């Protein structure tokens, strides 16, 4: 019996009506159709203070960071849709990575939640590049924390006009390409 891939999916945006939350849900459909078990989370449900080693030294790693770390450790790969903020990744997303990277005990390996994880990236933005500049930084970061980022990604430009009222992309070709990102991750993890 083949192993069922386990995927954690989320957007790097906290905004309730985020284009990136809509986008990652489309990729989730593709992964589930390919037989993956997907856990979709909203980072807004895991509030964290800005990373500060003084907080870590005085009170330890926040409970929400530990919950996120467990989710990341329990999954084989990540579907991530991150908005571009000032030509880079969102602060909320980077803060999650910074907190989760911290060892929770002396025995725990640094960066253990990211080592050998397989990552697929996407972005949606009102701008003409669709968040492309931000994904360059996200891709580099994951490469440096020992994750494997698959080469295919998708950036949706003019995002305020790209989605229908049901949260799907109006362009059927784009809808399929994003679903194929989820499917591609699931298929890669099965191998």
pTM for the model:
0.96
Mean pLDDT of 118-136: 95
CB 82 within 8 A of CB 138: yes
| pLDDT for the residue numbered 1 | 54
Per-residue model confidence as pLDDT tens digits over 41-77: 999 999 999 999 999 999 999 999 999 999 999 999 9
CB distance 55 to 49 below 8 Å = yes
Check which CATH number belongs to the domain holding 86 and give it: 3.40.50.360
Residue 61 inside a domain? The answer is yes
Please, what is the average pLDDT of the chain? 97
Instruction: Considering only CA atoms, give the Rg of the chain.
Output: 16
Phi-psi region of 92 (alpha: psi -120 to 50; beta: other; left: phi over 0): alpha
Number of structural domains found in the chain: 1
Q: Is the pLDDT of residue 30 over 90?
A: yes
Mode of pairing for the β-strands spanning 6-11 and 154-156: unpaired
* Alpha-carbon distances, residue 87 vs 53, 137, 146 (angstroms): 26, 9, 23
Residue 1 lies in a domain: no
On whether residue 78 sits in a domain, the answer given is yes
Range of the domain at 106: 6-190
Taking only the tens place, the pLDDT of each residue in 156-191 is 999 999 999 999 999 999 999 999 999 999 999 999
Q: For residue 3, what pLDDT is reported?
A: 87
By the 8 A CB rule, do 120 and 181 touch? Answer: yes
Q: Given a cut of 80, is residue 2 above it in pLDDT?
A: no
């Amino acid at each position: 019996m083949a192993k069922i891939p386990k995927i954690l999916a989320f957007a790097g945006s906290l905004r309730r009506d985020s284009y990136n939350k809509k986008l990652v849900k489309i990729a989730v459909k593709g992964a589930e159709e390919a037989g993956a078990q997907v856990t979709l989370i909203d980072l807004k449900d895991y509030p964290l203070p800005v990373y500060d080693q003084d907080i870590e030294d005085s009170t330890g790693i926040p409970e929400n960071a530990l919950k996120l770390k467990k989710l990341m450790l329990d999954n084989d790969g990540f579907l991530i849709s991150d908005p571009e903020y000032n030509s880079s990744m969102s602060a909320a997303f980077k803060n999650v990575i910074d907190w989760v990277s911290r060892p929770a005990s002396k025995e725990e390996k640094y960066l253990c939640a990211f080592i050998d994880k397989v990552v697929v990236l996407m972005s949606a933005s009102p701008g003409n590049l669709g968040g492309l500049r931000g994904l360059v930084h996200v891709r580099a970061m994951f490469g440096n924390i020992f994750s494997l980022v698959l080469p295919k990604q998708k950036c949706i430009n003019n995002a305020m006009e790209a989605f229908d009222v049901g949260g799907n992309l109006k362009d059927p070709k784009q809808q399929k390409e994003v679903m194929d990102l989820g499917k591609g991750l699931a298929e890669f993890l099965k191998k």
